[in-house]
Chain A
């Protein structure tokens, strides 16, 4: 058994509107290796449906989605391939 420490890279897309957060996320994913995990911070309410859609379209895994107290959103997305 080995313990894997996952490094989470933050993509701060707060303040950006559609398609800004997704483009920022796609840029971060480009060149990253499979299994790389990213945290996306966004204020765009459209991201609540757009981030899951993006994960489905790009065949990546949406690990979690949450609304933060300040009204923004946090998503954890893992690169599949």
Chain B
């Protein structure tokens, strides 16, 4: 501090002032620096979740924001290669993969599934209205520099290997890194 003794009438004031500056500095150290960034935790694998997830991520990237999508649990199936069918080492993982065919184009609707007619109608409407579909939006996201990150734990749980997933993904990460990605994002979402 550049304050000299003769400029401060009461030494008590100076002590108080220094203490307050120290407290503010400590507070600032703990403050979180947010980036112009959107981080989405893609938990849901339903078509009606993956769709908005991919629309928001691509739009954020197109608007000059950093964008990260962390695929976990059912969301992970959206980035499984379309050709990959039965995966895993045991019957439980195999059954799970059979029930959840890979890729965003196979995603089911949370409502109005109608044995597959629902998603087909949705995609017909999308085609009629020139709306890009989730699998196209995932490709677009990669193109625009969106970081697509698989969850390592879900991959282990479901017996999915790196080669079962589509190309152009980041290295798989865990929960702590996902939290770091969310903490530094001005917009963290769980979809």
Chain A interface (Cβ within 8 Å of chain B)?
Answer: 15-20, 22-23, 25-26, 53-54, 57-59
Contacts and interface: CB of A to CB of B under 8 A. Distances in A.
Interface residues of B, number: 14
B62 A26 contact: yes
Interface stretch (B80-88, B114-122, B124-132, B155-163): B124-132
B63 A58 contact: yes
A17 B64 contact: no
A53 B64 CA distance: 12
Contact of A54 (B62, B129, B140, B144): B62
Interface string B59-86: 1011111000000000000000000000
B63 A22 contact: yes
B48 to A, nearest CB: 16
Given A18-B55, A26-B144, A57 B63 contact: yes
Given A23-B58, A23-B140, A23-B144, A15 B130 contact: yes
A19 B64 contact: no
Nearest to B137: A19
A29 B112 CA distance: 40
B63 A17 contact: no
A26 to B, nearest CB: 4
Give the 4 A-B CB pairs with smallest separation, nearest first: A26-B62, A57-B63, A58-B64, A19-B59
Contacts of A57: 63-65
13 contacts: A15-B130, A17-B131, A17-B132, A18-B59, A19-B62, A20-B130, A20-B131, A22-B59, A23-B58, A23-B62, A25-B62, A57-B64, A57-B65
Contact of B62 (A15, A16, A22, A59): A22
Contacts of A59: 64
A58 B62 CA distance: 8
A26 B64 CA distance: 8
B144 A17 contact: no
Q: Most B CB atoms within 10 A — which of A19, A20, A22?
A: A19
B130 A16 contact: yes
